[in-house]
Amino acid sequence: MSPGPLVVIGDSLLDIDLDGTSERQCPDAPVPVLDLQSSRLRPGGAGLAALLAARHGSPVQLITGLGQDEAADDLLGLLDGVEVLAQPLHGSTVTKTRIRLGTLPLLRVDTGTGTAGAGRLTTAATRAVERAGALLICDYGRGLARLPQLRQLLVDRSEAIPLIWDPHPRGARPVRGATVVTPNLAEAERAAPDAADDHTRGLDLCRIWSAQAAAVTQGEHGAVLTRIDRPASRHVTVPAELRQAARHSPDTCGAGDRFAAAVAEALRHDSSLEGAVEQAVDQAAGFVVAGGASAHSMLRRERHLATTTSSRDVDVATLIDRTRRAGGRIVATGGCFDLLHRGHVTLLDRARELGDLLVVCLNSDASVRRAKGPGRPVVAERDRARVLASLASVDAVVVFDDDTPAELLEQLRPDIWVKGRDYVDRDLPEADAVTRHGGRVVLLPLLDGYSTTRLVASSQPAPV
């Protein structure tokens, strides 16, 4: 029997990165003038931890305060794949805006007054905690972790399932009985200032916070795990190749969230604590090497519904050019998409998560007939294109008449070409057109039980 979902509890923030270039100074002050190139959004705090766990394959529920403003709408829209169980938030959504010159941070602007309400947990949130396979508390000092009802519920559940607490200097004291607390070194030194070394610091943290273990993260040096039942500390180091790469990756934002989420995921699957921390160190280092939290951001975008019949249509070309100049990733996928069903929609949603612009290459009616026979398509290309373009995940649709989209992809030059996992043992004639221009092919899992061919067959009358 599989364990219950990972339930992440804590304060979610909206992070915004404003990236640009500068070639001049302001005439009335000795400061650079930033020419804005892109505005990217991502969830922060508990929201980021939940998103990272969900993208790693875990079923995730997030209990978090959610407001009634535009920033909250943006935040909710970013948490794809996460079941959000919202608690009332008093005040505005906390937003952290980083202004960067290339990859160099110039300034961070924090706004928002939101704090969790003092009332009781919703029924849905209470039920989620009671059915969880593991609990991860990401406390960013916004009040949710202080709710008395929640704290008692966490104490009760900690006797049966793993409870991981990622603390914050302005946050609540971890509840007694946590399986492991995961502060970074600065937070650990603040909580246990008199410790002489890593060993005594870990023991002090376990006693101060009534925890079974403490895993103190130390950046490129890994983490130090101390268990109260096994006093000898264990230092888990980052693999040398990842350590070297991490030194050249300036953005470590979110590494602590990735570490805590990885520990929770591993313990949910009955890993030992030592094994969980070792996996988490490796995954956090890999997360930094891959670009940190910035790699999980999305361009702030306007909605474009560009249904076209020509790959040379200026609207599609403009969308691609604009996205590329802003540093965004172009994703493309293709197919007949005849009788659009849930499997199609799931594949398109997952494809869109891989980048900032999704272009669907749609087989024309003639192309479908050559591939599927005279009875197909059931739906004409114009209608198929219009339905696809109305989906939230789709930015543009391009109809092509060839047997393969290879020629079209030579023009689009996507960063990622997506097909279903059913192509794993089949040749993709268009793959060369993708990789020739620096792109890569990604095969995504399909939703079992959904097939247009099966739908068409089931709609035919039974033979007499």
Q: Cα(439)–Cα(330) distance, rounded to whole angstroms?
A: 9
Name the nearest CA neighbour of 238 among 253, 252, 257, 217. 217
Residue 15's Cβ-count burial label (10 Å; 0-12, 13-18, 19+) is buried
Say how many C-beta atoms besides its own lie within 10 A of residue 423's C-beta. 14
Structure tokens at 140: 């960013």
Name the nearest CA neighbour of 13 among 160, 135, 113, 133. 113
Report yes or no: 360 and 396 within 8 Å, Cβ to Cβ. Answer: yes
Residue 193's Cβ-count burial label (10 Å; 0-12, 13-18, 19+) is exposed
H-type helices in 102-239, by residue range?
123-131, 148-157, 185-191, 198-208
Q: Which stretch of DSSP H or E encloses residue 80?
A: none
- The catalytic residue among 11, 19, 257, 415 is 257
Check residue 168 and report its DSSP letter: -
Beta strands in 213-347 (DSSP E): 213-217, 223-227, 230-236, 298-299, 306-308, 330-335
Residue 425's Cβ-count burial label (10 Å; 0-12, 13-18, 19+) is exposed
Is position 425 annotated as part of the catalytic site? no
Name the nearest CA neighbour of 65 among 130, 101, 112. 112
The CA R_g of the chain, rounded to the nearest whole Å, is 25
Residue 291's Cβ-count burial label (10 Å; 0-12, 13-18, 19+) is middle
Q: Which stretch of DSSP H or E encloses residue 53?
A: helix 46-55
Residue type, 407: E
Check residue 25 and report its DSSP letter: B
* Positions marked active-site: 257
